[in-house]
Structure 1
């Protein structure tokens, strides 16, 4: 399984990006960060860690219901250059000087502090022996750096030893707040960089030292990101770490996190387009994201009750767990999903019928298909106190009607589309008679169906995303849908490789907010990407090569291909 593989280490960008043409596009960035590090800190970086952003090709808002999703790493990434600081007596253990190449961010200096045993409880003293301030109310860029560092401290420096004082320099091309998981990429890259500089991640080519697997890095990064107040299910981190070139990643979450690559058909390119609508999740969560979580959980309990599936009185069962119990799933069987995928597909088809039982007998005067709070509680079989304790004591929501039917129907149909997308891709690899164009068209159809469901059933789209997907299809996209949580952010469109330039030109001319954008400013909001490789490191002697000009770098790497 991909998650069990070690973190890859490369000695040339060609090995990383897969082709000379692609590596040429990135060589200047690697050269720039190495040179800027030397300018600011007076020496070359010892390591450069890379962590890409991700695009979710299909499978929106179903990961927290524990259904599988299909993201892919994108070429845009976060780069973190790091080097131990020469030892001086005035350096605090593990102190960090952090710079960001983006001029709007200022230098940050911080150091972890060992916790005195008298300052923590008996339970805490065995868990965390370090303190590092992270402001969860105001998410600053260095908070994500600190989050990655914190995981390294508590996993490798409890019970003795001090981390190295370091200098780091960060740069990135993943647009912040766009739904492409720049935050997860920052945390993954930071975790990897601090592991490397402290000797906890030995390069593969030495043949010595501990080998941390991709899955272990994912687990660390998920835990680390929670330190900035983000309760992630693992999709973003897994996509950033485990992805391989030219493939999507099928990630399942039940009974445990697992991932496997899904090769994509040749000739297909994904275009990311930013709607330029920013959804402040912290402000809107009680009406949007958090509300959807509660609606899917309540729907799961009510469906379980209707179908005679046993659920504990205080249990927050998910829709994925309901179908598993309904199908007699035995944990540990199947392809990382508990039960075989064929069983899941069959049970999903049944649930698409069963979910109609959540649909109110008639819509309200304003067209509502939801139910009021008191009706939802009655349907759950719990008392008001029990229901609020299980579903509302840990999250704030705001609604007059709860859309149990719409949300559950989206989840079941979207989960089914993910499996169809996966099967279509795998079938195209095993059956030579399939026309690649027909495969791409089918994938596009599934993406379009997903967008319709996100808009009409899950109601996480917005007018700008709807307009962008419509323009994209008219400009030649086989399929186009929102990606990320929605309510703003980006779309992803499946486009033929020979239509990329014409497609971008048409969209940029027709989408109002893009008017007047040219060159680099336009490429920041709409750009092509092929599925990229996951997080990796560039070590030691490679840095010497990359510090030269680009032509020297190309000459040095040319023999490798």
Structure 2
């Protein structure tokens, strides 16, 4: 299993670069970072930790319904050069940078100021994660989740290392402490673009502190990739982000030239899916920023409630048993309908057949006699009645933990999207596996046919996101249409939507002309050149996951 492999620790840069992809000049970035670290701290780094961003190729808004998704790591990444800081025995501990485990963190981007901080041992133990303060067993660091700063993600990564490896009681005279460390951070994942720069930052930070404290040296007894995913998920919660694990798994477990099939039921699992030869993706930022907090009541949170209530109503219509206080998911409806048992999870082929069936079964949610352009939603009163629950219990189960705002709730459209999108994920996966298994292997026409099929599925996904899940926006719709006119085999939004990025599958020999045409036709890009252009639109091959380079 990919999740059970150890974190790669390289000592040969040629081996490392061969797994990262070829769209960026990685050697120049890594060398510049190491040289700049030496200039600033007076010695070369001991390690460079790398964690890539990710792009979700297909499978939008179905993870919280517990269906699998298909992201891939991208070449753009977060790099953290790091090394232990020698502290003379006579140094005053009262100064922060001389304290045990103290951190001096700098960033190559000039807008991010130098930070100095140190963890403090606590006399009492608490696992509470609050709004203003964060507590880890035996340790304390401040993270203000109301005003996130770049160093908050560095601190978040540090917490996992403190929590797992430095638990000694404060009263113990032999308690071990983390060593002082210097960090220099750089990143090529555009922030706020939906490509998971925050998850990459937390993963890279976690790895940096593990490496400097010697926790990756013993490869026979070191952290596995799966364990790093779990640690990073917990760490990111420290900055107020509750993640389902897709971002961290893609950043950590991905293989070069492969997507990652991540399933969430009954537990999180991740398996590589080799992509056909010539699979190059172009990420394009719509430059629309979707503020999830502001729009949550009518956007993301509303969709979560609609899919959950839709699952209960559908289960009731199909005679599937549901507990009165249970929030059954659309994935669980399929499983129970097909007689799935906890010990015997449906295999992928049976799940695919089930999803094909659900495309018809979901029609019971559609209001009778309403045309396609009519109101397919239901009112709050109608939704409560359809659920079969008394109003007070309905509100307790579905509305007591989240705020939503709508006049009509689109149970039919949301469920129709989720089941169709989950099926597209399995079809995308199977198309890739067929090529890898050799059905058309080594055959250019077969590989081209596979790419065309993947592109078709991506286009269908975009249509569904726009029309059924309604998580697109005019700019994303325009950008995907322009992408297809510019020669994309397929193009769709990626990430939560309502802004952020698109991802387009583009033939290898058309990348440059494709980018130039998008620049000339998408109004917000006009006049952009060089680095400014590459910040908003860039090609990437699926890259390998997180790793560490150790300087000899």
TM-score (norm 1): 0.91
Match of 1:504 among 505, 515, 518: 515
Q: How does 1:259-338 map to 2 (within 5 A)?
A: 259-333=270-344, 338=345
Distance 1:20-1:225 versus aligned 2 partners, 3 A rule: closer
Distance 1:365-1:216 versus aligned 2 partners, 3 A rule: closer
Deviation at 1:526, TM superposition (A): 0.8
The aligned counterpart of 2:208 is 193
Deviation at 1:367, TM superposition (A): 3.4
Deviation at 1:293, TM superposition (A): 0.9
The aligned counterpart of 1:360 is 367
Report whether the alignment pairs 1:166 with 2:175. no
Moved over 6 A (4+): 118-121
* CA offsets 1:223-266 (integer angstroms, 9 cap, x no match): 11111111111000000000011111111111111111111111
For the Cα contact (< 8 Å) 1:255–1:332, is it kept in 2?
Answer: no
Report whether the alignment pairs 1:444 with 2:459. no
For the Cα contact (< 8 Å) 1:203–1:539, is it kept in 2?
Answer: no
Deviation at 1:8, TM superposition (A): 0.8
Match of 2:164 among 155, 158, 166: 155
* CA offsets 1:144-197 (integer angstroms, 9 cap, x no match): 111111111111111342111211111000000101000110011111111111
The aligned counterpart of 1:551 is none
Structure 2 residues not aligned, in runs of 5+ = 129-134, 169-174
Deviation at 1:203, TM superposition (A): 5.8
SS of the equivalent of 1:228 reads coil
Deviation at 1:135, TM superposition (A): 1.3
Distance 1:198-1:504 versus aligned 2 partners, 3 A rule: same
Match of 1:476 among 487, 500, 523: 487
Q: Measure the CA separation in 2 of the matches of 1:114 and 1:153.
A: 10
For the Cα contact (< 8 Å) 1:134–1:227, is it kept in 2?
Answer: yes
For the Cα contact (< 8 Å) 2:23–2:539, is it kept in 1?
Answer: no
Deviation at 1:216, TM superposition (A): 0.5
SS of the equivalent of 2:482 reads helix
Report whether the alignment pairs 1:56 with 2:65. no
Q: Measure the CA separation in 1 of the matches of 2:512 and 2:264.
A: 37
Deviation at 1:365, TM superposition (A): 12
SS of the equivalent of 1:155 reads helix
Deviation at 1:21, TM superposition (A): 8.4
Deviation at 1:17, TM superposition (A): 3.1
For the Cα contact (< 8 Å) 1:9–1:203, is it kept in 2?
Answer: no
Match of 2:531 among 486, 507, 520: 520
* CA offsets 1:460-503 (integer angstroms, 9 cap, x no match): 10111111111111111110000011111111111111111111
Report whether the alignment pairs 1:110 with 2:114. no
Distance 1:32-1:294 versus aligned 2 partners, 3 A rule: same
Q: Measure the CA separation in 2 of the matches of 1:241 and 1:19.
A: 13
Report whether the alignment pairs 1:529 with 2:540. yes
- Between 1:93-102 and 1:464-473, the stretch displaced more is 93-102
SS of the equivalent of 1:117 reads coil
Structure 1 residues not aligned, in runs of 5+ = 542-561
The aligned counterpart of 1:134 is 143
Q: Measure the CA separation in 2 of the matches of 1:48 and 1:273.
A: 28
Q: Measure the CA separation in 1 of the matches of 2:209 and 2:337.
A: 45
SS of the equivalent of 2:22 reads helix
Deviation at 1:76, TM superposition (A): 0.2
TM-score (norm 2): 0.92
Q: Measure the CA separation in 2 of the matches of 1:81 and 1:96.
A: 13
SS of the equivalent of 1:22 reads coil
The aligned counterpart of 1:456 is 467
The aligned counterpart of 1:559 is none
Q: How does 1:323-402 map to 2 (within 5 A)?
A: 323-333=334-344, 338-363=345-370, 367-402=374-409
For the Cα contact (< 8 Å) 1:149–1:194, is it kept in 2?
Answer: yes
Q: How does 1:21-36 map to 2 (within 5 A)?
A: 22=22, 25-36=25-36
The aligned counterpart of 2:4 is 4
The aligned counterpart of 1:146 is 155
Q: How does 1:419-434 map to 2 (within 5 A)?
A: 419-433=426-440
Distance 1:251-1:24 versus aligned 2 partners, 3 A rule: closer
Q: Measure the CA separation in 1 of the matches of 2:350 and 2:125.
A: 54
Distance 1:521-1:306 versus aligned 2 partners, 3 A rule: same
Distance 1:350-1:505 versus aligned 2 partners, 3 A rule: same
Q: Measure the CA separation in 1 of the matches of 2:291 and 2:339.
A: 41
Report whether the alignment pairs 1:417 with 2:431. no
For the Cα contact (< 8 Å) 1:114–1:129, is it kept in 2?
Answer: yes
SS of the equivalent of 1:232 reads coil
The aligned counterpart of 1:18 is 18
The aligned counterpart of 1:555 is none
